[in-house]
Amino acid sequence: MSASPGRIAPKKRPGRRLAAAPVEGARSGFEAESDSTRIRTRGLTKNYDDLVAVDHLDLDVHAGEIFGLLGQNGAGKTTTILMLLGLTEPTSGSARVVGLDPARAPLQVKRRVGYMPDSVGFYGDLSGRENLRYTARLNRIPRELAETTIEEVLEQVGLASRAEDKTDTYSRGMLQRLGIADALVKDPDVLILDEPTTAIDPLGVVEVLDLLRRLVDERGMSILLSSHLLNQVQSVCDRIGIFASGRLIGQGTMAQLAQRFGDGRHQLEIGLDLAGGDDGSRARAALAAVPGVVSVDDGARAGDPWVVTMAPGADPIAVRSEVLRVVASEGLPLASIRAVVPSLEDIYRRAVARPTVASAPSGSAGIPTRAAASAGDVPAARHE
C-alpha cells in the first residue's frame, strides 16, 4: 500500500456530499447532525427468542474520533452494527445515527454511513474499479464526481495498480482494502468497519490504520471500528468500548479504562545511568523509602529500567513528585522517568472477568452483504 499522508484532501469538494432531506426518523430528544454526537444509543436491546444479543446499550460516538468496539466473536458487536444500519430492528431502546433513526429511515442512514462488513463480497467478474462504479451508481453519485472519487480512494488504499483486474483474482487482503475503498466512495460522515484489517499483511495494517487516523484528523469523520485485535484498537482508537455477552461493560479512553479496571496500583519506570561498580543499593534504598512506594525492581539486567510500584490508593502525582525530589537530593543519575500504563490486554482481561449475562448468539445469520448495506435506494446483493 503506497498512499502518502498527503493524498486525502483536508477539505471536501463542493457537491460531494449527498443531500439528506429532513425525515421523520430525526425526532426531538436526540442531537441533529450538527451536534458533536454522530452515533447515540439509549437502552438499545436485541433479543433472539430467549437469548440477549445486545443488552441495554448506551453508546455515544462523537465527530472526529475513532471509537473501538472490542470483544470476542458473539459478544454483540455485529448485532449492534446491524441495528445502527437499519438492517435489523431493535427489540427495545433507540438509536440515532447522524441524527436519524435507522429503524425508520434506513435508506437515509445508508447514504450517510460507509460500512465494511467482516466478510466482504464483490462481483468477481468485474474489476475493482467497476465494483466501485456500481456502488457509486447505487448511491446516485454523478458520474464525473464518481470517477474522480474512485481514483482517489483506490490510490488511498493502495489498489490503483490493480484497479482493472477482476476481483476474483484478488487476495483476501486486497478485498479488505477494496472494502475500505468502497465504504469511502460516498464520502460518508461515519465509517463503520467490522474487522477491517483481517488478512492484511503487517505493513498494510499500519498503512490502513494510518489512513483511518487521517480521515478523522483531516476530515472530521467519525469511525466505529469493531475488532478483537487489542493491539490495533489500542494503537488507533481515541476511545474504546469493551463488549462482553451483549453488554458494554466499560467505555472511555485508555486512561479511564485503566483507572476503572486496573488493580489500583500505579507504577513508575525509571532509567538510571549508574557508574561502573555502582550496585544501585543506595538508589534502591532511597526510592524504597519514599512514602507510598511498596517495591523497587531494578530489572533483570544492567541497564534495564527500574520499576517503582506504589501502594493501592497512593496519589501517583504526589509519589512521582517525591521520587523526583529524592532523586535530586541524593544526586541519583536520572536518565528518564515515565508512568507505566496498563496494556489494553490487561484491562480487557480484568473487565471480562467480571460477571456478565449469558453469552449472545455467535452465528452469522442475518449479516448483510456489503452491497445491501451500501445501497442508498436499490436493494442488491453481490456474489459472495
Enclosing domain of residue 306: 264-341
Q: What is the CATH number of the domain that holds 294?
A: 3.30.70.100
Q: Are residues 196 and 87 in the same domain?
A: yes
pLDDT tens digits, one per residue of 85-141: 999 999 999 999 999 999 999 999 999 999 999 888 899 999 999 999 999 999 999
pLDDT tens digits, one per residue of 275-290: 776 778 899 999 999 9
Give me 308's grid cell.
Answer: 517503582
Q: Are residues 248 and 320 in the same domain?
A: no
Q: Are residues 226 and 287 in the same domain?
A: no
Rounded Cα gap, residues 68 and 212, in angstroms: 12
Judge whether 380 lies within some domain.
Answer: no
Q: What is the CATH number of the domain that holds 367?
A: 3.40.50.300
Q: Are residues 291 and 188 in the same domain?
A: no
The pLDDT value recorded for residue 203 is 85
pLDDT at 61 over 50: yes
Q: Are residues 101 and 64 in the same domain?
A: yes
Judge contact between 109 and 85, C-beta under 8 A. Answer: yes
Q: Are residues 155 and 289 in the same domain?
A: no
Judge whether 347 lies within some domain.
Answer: no
Q: Are residues 253 and 282 in the same domain?
A: no
The pLDDT value recorded for residue 35 is 65
pLDDT tens digits, one per residue of 317-332: 999 999 999 999 999 8
DSSP string spanning 186-226?
A: T--SEEEEESTTTT--HHHHHHHHHHHHHHHHHH--EEEEE
The DSSP H or E segment spanning 149 is: helix 143-156
The pLDDT value recorded for residue 259 is 79
Q: Which of 242, 253, 227, 216 is nearest to 63 (CA)?
A: 216
**Main-chain dihedrals φ then ψ at residue 38, nearest 5 degrees:** -95, -35
Judge whether 351 lies within some domain.
Answer: no
Q: What percent of the chain has pLDDT over 70?
A: 82
Rounded Cα gap, residues 51 and 169, in angstroms: 40
Measured CA to CA in angstroms, residue 198 lies from 193, 280, 328 at distances of: 11, 47, 50
Beta bridge partners of 192: 115, 224
The pLDDT value recorded for residue 374 is 53
Buried b (16+ CB within 10 A) or exposed e, 54-84: bbebebbbebbbbbbbbbeebbbbbbbbbbb
Q: Are residues 222 and 283 in the same domain?
A: no
Judge whether 313 lies within some domain.
Answer: yes
* Count of structural domains within the chain: 2
Please provide the average confidence, as pLDDT, over all residues in the chain. 82
Q: Are residues 253 and 268 in the same domain?
A: no
